[in-house]
């Protein structure tokens, strides 16, 4: 997954000053900001595990000198319309123990492969692979991705067991 160049964030303004970080650049009104539910989604805890495995594979491809490994869960544009099909990680997440076990095994394998490449390096600025990605940049992307999805997982877990903030 290639990340587009970051756009600068602008703070949404309000009579009392800048809005909090979650509404930066937003023109949402009070109704949208107070909405309590999310629209229907294919997101699931198992889908997040599969997505993170796919993402780890993609990062390993960034820092590899060899040919890229194929995707784990389908083509990023499976229907050929050019817009990418990033839900393939989530759509195939079915309630079968074999699927759960396979997803956890894939995540562990892909994490280990991504971890192995920079394992002995002492310079975080060193660039790896055909793409010339700095080790530091790779680590920052990983932290961002996992942090974002930990929040998603917490909301999904709340839907499953009802516990809040634990």
User: pLDDT tens digits, residue range 68-104?
Assistant: 898 898 765 555 554 455 567 777 788 889 999 999 9
Looking at 1-15, 115-129, 146-160, which range is the least confident one?
A: 1-15
What lies within 8 Å, CB to CB, of 60 at 6+ separation is: 69, 110, 113, 114, 117
- Cα–Cα distance measured from residue 44 to residue 157, given in angstroms and rounded to the nearest whole number: 9
- pTM above threshold 0.75: no
């Amino acid at each position: 997954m290639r990340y587009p160049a970051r756009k600068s964030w602008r703070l949404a303004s309000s009579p009392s000053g800048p809005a909090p970080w979650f509404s930066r650049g937003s023109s949402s009104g009070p109704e949208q900001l107070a909405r309590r539910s999310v629209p229907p989604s294919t997101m699931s805890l198992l889908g997040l595990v599969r997505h993170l495995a796919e993402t780890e594979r993609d990062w390993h491809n960034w820092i590899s000198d060899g040919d890229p490994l194929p995707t784990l869960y389908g083509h990023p544009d499976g229907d050929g319309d050019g817009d990418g099909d990033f839900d393939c990680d989530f759509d195939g997440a079915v309630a079968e123990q074999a699927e759960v076990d396979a997803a956890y095994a894939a995540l562990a394998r892909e994490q280990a492969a991504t971890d192995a490449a920079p394992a002995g390096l002492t310079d975080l600025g060193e660039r790896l692979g055909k793409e010339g990605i700095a080790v530091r940049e790779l680590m920052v992307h990983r932290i961002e991705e996992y942090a974002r999805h930990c929040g998603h997982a917490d909301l999904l877990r709340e839907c499953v067991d009802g516990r809040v903030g634990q």
